[in-house]
A and B are shown apart, each in its own frame.
Chain A
């Protein structure tokens, strides 16, 4: 049975994408409601599959070839991803309807939009379940392609430029990763019979790897997977892609970023099995600080709400990389927790920004007026989201920042630098909100009647953030501790 689970996982997305294609070709009446319903059903089924996987024994080989398997980290990521997709699918129902009304998307492109959305979820899940590094590489590449298609479904020429930048920057960096994978395979041939790219085999054989060659392979792989997770200086695709994509898509990019960070976390675990992981830690720290610094200063001059959120995502990638570089059990616990806290925070921000965009038909702060009167829920969402992203106490990212900074205490210079960057970033985001809420009314406009499907995800994210900020459920804590144990990163 276990050997066929991977086929069961593929089925919902393939069926829904196939049905969408069939509807588009055979039914003249198919519209947003039908495609949206299919995508919601699919997302709900995947959320169910995530819960089912969480209740199965682990680690579990999911295919006869051994190329797919599930361990606690994979299941954790799948739970986060499917949760985000379910909320985004619900949100898309009202959001896309509004885009059609405003003629910002051509109704005939709905099958392409929803089909890519459904397949993207499958590709991410398969990426998390890949036991094989080359397969993971291919799924990350596929996620880039599907994300790019989702960007260009909107009627705007700048979206084509954004998609091109995304494809070329991410794919070029991923080719460097592939070179690293080739070197790693060559190294594995020295310690594993016939060589292997399976995580399980590599972890077992890593102790015998030549250190210098592994370090080069690690740096090359970090370039590709880092680019995918928004690591500087390969983050240049991210702000434009986040800003130009429809908000329902920007939300799921949080899960795409997680796939890159997931790969880096696996590489870190591998690096810790080698004789000397000092270069691994140093390169992660350097990349993290650079990412944090660039994001912090970029936040100071933004004029576009979605770009502010995008640079906040880059900042969080920097924080996560710094946490990984510390490699202490405490820091890694909160790094893994951040893989949940961040997508929820970003989802809240993008859902709220999407409602603002429907209200003002622009993402620029200059277009915003009377936000608390016209869109109180979205305004509360943005304020709470920004507070969470900057690390205000009683919200979950505070715990992450506090514990990672505590880990930096033994390196005072780096601690001061990180604190300075966090303050600059917080100042930039706070100043942006201040400008949004202090704009004079340019011309009276009616309030956008926000559909329930767009409000519910905002409310759920608000509740989740409020809970996670003050209470860590024991099952979640156990799960994260198991992850650090399974990765060989616990004390």
Chain B
């Protein structure tokens, strides 16, 4: 009984910390720091899946945790840093439509709105006690990621917004339904391809069309300089 209470408390703390990383993603201007925040957010998500596995004993949760750790905490941030070394921009200073302060205020409203919707639904969907908190923070994280996509100008920042959105969807999935593991893997493969393409296009925006096509021909970023 104590173990369940402990894991529930840990999950609550992790969810709040994940929400904190989303606020940092919205406000951060340094791209390098943005990647670090994304890696921390993914690490928190991996730990959360691990705690859920400890609590519920479902093997797919352990696999999701491992997969998140390898792909989102290690591989994707390393890939993003390699992209950053190849493009000239290091900071994304411009915001459009929304300033960081207004983004945070809208986020607060979004969290409230999402909470209201899921509070109404909690009796219709017969899920666990943490469903409400997990679903609300998952959807809010996705919406905050979407705000990053629409309020930032640089492609690489938009990509981090998209990755944050995907983390939100994964978080939502962890609390709402035990999707088959193969679906999680396929979603990650899809995410990887979008990441490679977006990075390639980010390079295209930042370089000559000839240099961009040279990279496109080689399906990626590893060409002779």
Contact = CB atoms under 8 A, between A and B. Distances in A.
A156 B193 CA distance: 23
Given A138-B186, A167-B197, A182-B179, A155 B209 contact: yes
A138 B189 CA distance: 9
Q: Which of A134, A153, A161, A182 has the most CB of B within 10 A?
A: A182
A463 interface: no
B201 A167 contact: yes
Contact of B201 (A134, A163, A175, A182): A163
B169 A175 contact: yes
Contact of A179 (B120, B169, B205): B169
Interface stretch (A104-112, A252-260, A379-387): A104-112
B165 A172 contact: yes
A300 interface: no
B213 to A, nearest CB: 5
A72 interface: no
A214 to B, nearest CB: 9
Interface residues of A, number: 42
Interface of B is mostly: helix
Interface in B188-204: 190, 193-194, 197-198, 201, 204
A290 interface: no
Given A112-B216, A134-B186, A179 B172 contact: yes
Contacts of A186: 125, 127, 176-177
Given A152-B204, A168-B162, A171-B194, A190 B216 contact: no
Nearest to A160: B204
A164 B198 contact: yes
Nearest to B206: A160
Contacts of B179: 134, 182, 185
A392 B2 CA distance: 73
B124 A182 contact: no
B217 interface: yes
Interface string A153-189: 1011100110110011001100110110011011101
Given A134-B186, A182-B176, A186-B177, A108 B217 contact: yes
List the 8 closest A-B pairs by CB distance, nearest first: A186-B177, A160-B204, A185-B177, A210-B124, A134-B183, A182-B173, A141-B190, A186-B176
11 contacts: A109-B216, A149-B216, A155-B213, A156-B209, A157-B204, A160-B204, A163-B201, A178-B187, A182-B177, A186-B177, A212-B124
Interface of B: 117, 120-121, 124-127, 139, 142, 146, 149, 155, 158, 162, 165-166, 169, 172-173, 176-180, 183, 186-187, 190, 193-194, 197-198, 201, 204-205, 209, 212-213, 216-217, 219
Interface of A: 106, 108-109, 112, 134-135, 138, 141-142, 145, 148-149, 152-153, 155-157, 160-161, 163-164, 167-168, 171-172, 175-176, 178-179, 182-183, 185-187, 189-190, 195, 197, 210, 212-213, 216
Given A106-B213, A109-B213, A186-B125, 11 more contacts: A112-B217, A138-B190, A145-B193, A149-B197, A153-B216, A157-B204, A164-B198, A179-B139, A182-B176, A185-B179, A197-B183
